């Protein structure tokens, strides 16, 4: 097991955490802020010293991504059938959508500019969970990723999905999931690794307990 695989599992855990939160939010209209906040804050961590720093640093990264790590272990291990099918679909869709984004330099540049604007805006609010911050991140997703040919279809309870605040949360989480998928690719992660490198990734996930 290499240090790169350990780093890859951080990105993978963040992808699965985003996917699971979207799945839960779309069905219940509620989400756990303790799992949501580190994902959203990762969007503003553009010059982190390490992969762990993107999600809270060496000591907090593990607890901040505990949900995603659990889902990752299940998805890669013998408990795959216990993972919500929507969560698996969202996770794979995030990886696929980020691959399309990587081939669109103009859109990447636009996202970079918008992140800088959102980072400045954060100084005016209590934290990244403020509804205005969520609306800004959601708007970034709408202005960029939602214009690509591939779109992530979120399924759930229309009573919740039609609420502007819930819709903003869903898009903000998807944006954070794209951030994680970008990190996964930058660390050498590929979709086929989820099949052919499962044992190595599982070993790395177990070592982070």
10-61 residue pLDDT tens = 999 999 999 999 999 999 999 999 999 999 999 999 888 899 999 998 778 8
Identify the CATH number of the domain in which residue 160 sits: 1.10.3890.10
pLDDT number for residue 123: 85
Domain count for the chain: 1
pLDDT tens track for 136-158 = 999 999 999 999 999 999 999 99
Which pLDDT score, from 0 to 100, does residue 1 have?
Answer: 47
Alpha-carbon span 30 to 44, nearest angstrom:
23
Q: Are 32 and 21 in contact (CB under 8 A)?
A: yes
Domain that holds residue 10: 3-206
Closest CA to 96 of 10, 190, 26: 190
Residue 111 CA neighbour count, 13 Å, CB half: 24
Is residue 103 exposed (0-12), middle (13-18) or buried (19+ Cβ within 10 Å)?
A: exposed
Question: What pLDDT is stored for residue 131 in this prediction?
Answer: 95
pTM of this structure: 0.94
C-alpha R_g of the chain: 16
Q: Give residue for tokens 């959102």.
A: 118
């Amino acid at each position: 097991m290499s240090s790169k695989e350990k780093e890859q599992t951080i990105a993978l855990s963040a992808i699965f955490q985003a996917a699971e939160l979207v799945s839960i939010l779309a069905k219940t209209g509620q989400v756990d802020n303790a799992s949501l906040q580190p994902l959203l804050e990762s969007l503003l961590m553009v010059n982190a010293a390490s992969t762990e720093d993107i999600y809270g640093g060496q000591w907090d990264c593990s607890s901040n991504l505990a949900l995603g790590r659990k889902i990752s272990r299940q998805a890669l291990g013998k408990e795959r059938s216990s993972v919500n099918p929507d969560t698996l679909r969202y996770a794979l869709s995030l990886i696929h959508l980020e691959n399309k984004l990587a081939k669109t330099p103009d859109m990447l540049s636009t996202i970079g500019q918008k992140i800088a604007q959102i980072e400045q805006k954060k100084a005016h609010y209590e934290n990244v969970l403020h509804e205005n911050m969520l609306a800004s991140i959601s708007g970034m997703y709408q202005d960029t990723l939602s214009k690509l040919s591939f779109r992530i279809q979120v399924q759930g309870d229309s009573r919740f999905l039609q609420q502007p605040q819930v819709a903003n949360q869903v898009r903000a989480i998807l944006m954070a999931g794209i951030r994680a998928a970008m990190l996964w690719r930058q660390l050498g992660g590929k979709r086929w690794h989820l099949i052919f490198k499962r044992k190595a990734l599982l070993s790395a996930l177990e070592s982070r307990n």
